[in-house]
Structure 1
Amino acid sequence: MRALVLGVWIALAVLPVPSDAQVMATADYLARMDGNGDGRVSLSEYQAWMSYAFDGMDRDGDGVLATHEQPGGKGPPLARAVHLARLAERFGRQDANGDGWLDAGELAAPPR
């Protein structure tokens, strides 16, 4: 038992503790993505927030990033549906507990 307690203390001593600035930055990021203010981010909120760059680059508004609309004018055309599917896949990897929502901890952690 003493060895277990000692092991826990050692583990806690070496694990990184998020700074107040990191905690505040994550909370701010969550608040910006959380369109309905319920303290968690749904897939649709995640896709809406993460699509701002796509929407900005799609100058003709046709839902497809043509080669000339992409950074450097390179790459195959990218349809909005494909972009949203990629975001859904990333959301699924980031949703560590599989509840269909992202909380502040899941947003702060890199996708698995």
Structure 2
Amino acid sequence: MPARRITVGAKPSIPRAPSGSYDDTPDKLLQMLRDNDQGNCWCSDCGSGAKVEWVSINLAIILCIECSGIHRSLGTHISKVRSLTLDITSFTADIVELLMLVGNRVANMIWEAKLDAS
């Protein structure tokens, strides 16, 4: 897998669209995030590939339904969880841009940088 270059402040290669453009096809945003980064096809926390349709908008990670419940229980001051298929009206262009720039691989490189292998 080629290394992904990240430049702080870089503009995403996607056009910024208003959140209302996802209303006609709820899976459009989810598919766009998966197409942007294959790491977004799996849960950022547990690695599951099942029902990975949730996002922590302040951590910019994609989660499975089980981990989204855990993140919800942490409180909104730690993780603000939204559904990528049900809460599509709550995604502003800035949030979509953040998700496109960060995503699971970049977020895990940051949060798991000093994680012990054992």
Category of TM-score, reference length = shorter chain = under 0.3
Higher strand proportion (structure 1 or 2)? 2
Give TM-score, length-normalised by structure 1. Answer: 0.24
Higher RCO (CA 8 Å, separation ≥ 6 residues):
2
Higher helix proportion (structure 1 or 2)? 1
Give TM-score, length-normalised by structure 2. Answer: 0.23
**Structure with larger Rg:** 1
